[in-house]
Amino acid sequence: EVQLQASGGGLVQPGGSLRLSCTASGVTADDYAIGWFRQAPGKEREGVICFSSSDGNTYYADSVKGRFTISSDNAKNTVYLQMNSLKPEDTAVYYCAASGYSYYCTEPSTYSYAMSYWGKGTQVTVSS
């Protein structure tokens, strides 16, 4: 069984940085997609980053492009979300998710539906 655990959230001032971690266990698929999502109170869940191992491409939502980056440490089965230049509007619960099968991150509206496995969220609050 695939399990994902996200961590690293917290309170940060505007302009600050945070790094979220997502540790996976039980992943056996050779090809998969990893996504970072967020949901703010009263808003729909938003896919902010989608990485596909099938083609190596990464999609960044316009709202985070240039500020957020995804990286991984395969030895630790961990994916990271580095968030820089944080803004109050980045405040949300952040989730990591995985597809468990080959998925190409070409259509943002389908990211949520493509992910089979979800970790518990971690709260990120950007406030002075």
Q: Is 119 left (phi over 0), alpha (psi -120 to 50) or beta?
A: beta
Q: What is the mean pLDDT of the chain?
A: 92
Q: pLDDT confidence of 65, banded at 50, 70, 90?
A: very high
Give the mean model confidence (pLDDT) for residues 66-90. 94
User: C-alpha angle 71/37/56, rounded to 5°?
Assistant: 40
